[in-house]
Amino acid sequence: MSELVRLERLCKAYPNQEKPAVDNVSLSIDKGSVYGLIGRNGSGKSSLARILTGLLRPTSGHIWINEGRDASATSDWQRSNVAYLSQSPLALNTMTVKESMDFFGRLYRTKSSNKQQKCLLEKLGILRFHNQEVRSLSGGQSKLVQLAIAISSNRPFVILDEPTNELDALNRRLVWDEIEALSHKGVTVLVITYAVSEVESCLTHLGIMDKGRLIANGTVNQVMQNVQNRRTIAYRTASNSDKSSKPWEQIVDVDQVPRIVSKLCHEGADDITISSPNLEDVFVNLIASKSNKA
């Protein structure tokens, strides 16, 4: 794959903040990939997204999008290459859904027919709201309208900041399916989220941010190698014996498993299971290890 986006030593410092929100971040995102950027609240993810859209000027560093010129000093290039779904509600909420899509179509300089609009809204389960004002919709329904606007932009690079906030389980699955469909069409998607367990199945690449820095970056398999020699041990004790409660968990090195399981059995632990760590375990493990070194 050839790269669509490349960042070099990107920084963003805000006045009166001790540390930069984005701290020396370098990465590349391949064309047609689904890149997940995950991290705790306040880790710098949304600041990075706003820089990529041209809404925020970086303090230093360089951005190249779609083989164009360095876009760090101007937002012109982003406007013609990037579509953005933000965490914030749709600003023009006195418009109907149709009017909103028409307005952003003009802004993006794309024109979808009424039939194409309705087809997309039907796929997202919100066609019945086509002629309703956006402000009359629920938070989840409004989020789906924003997604429809981003999809219909026909931009090569789509940034989705917390795209499943306020959505129920069925609509979250629908969103991930649409993200995969975009990727199959050659669109590059950057998904920014802290919902680690949700996003794992549709990502091709992954970055983990903490305190403004990119602490892991690569394909999902490459990032998962951080814990390939570790195992998750789940168990219950007298204090959490209720089956409806979450079991205790430990992530340990493979060679520690026999000793720890033996110790847990001796202490009366129950329902002991051993599994390979998932992406959420990788995230927690990396954040914890970086915090311990700080």
pLDDT of 53 reads: 87
pLDDT of 69 reads: 61
Structural domains in the chain, CATH included, are 3-225 (3.40.50.300), 228-293 (no CATH)
pLDDT of 240 reads: 64
- Enter the pTM of the model: 0.84
Q: Which of 98, 106, 152, 105 is nearest to 126 (CA)?
A: 98
Chunked mean pLDDT (size 10), the chain, 294 residues? 88 92 95 93 91 89 77 64 82 85 84 82 93 92 92 91 90 92 94 83 91 92 81 82 73 90 89 86 79 60
Q: Which of 209, 171, 258, 198 is nearest to 25 (CA)?
A: 209
Whether residue 36 contacts residue 203, with contact meaning beta carbons closer than 8 Å, is answered with yes
pLDDT of 76 reads: 66
Whether residue 199 contacts residue 36, with contact meaning beta carbons closer than 8 Å, is answered with yes
pLDDT of 58 reads: 92
Burial of 271 (0-12, 13-18, 19+ CB in 10 A): exposed
Angle between helices 169-184 and 139-151 (to 10 degrees): 10
Q: Which of 120, 116, 180 is nearest to 144 (CA)?
A: 120
Query: How far is Cα 212 from Cα 47, in angstroms, rounded to an integer?
Result: 9
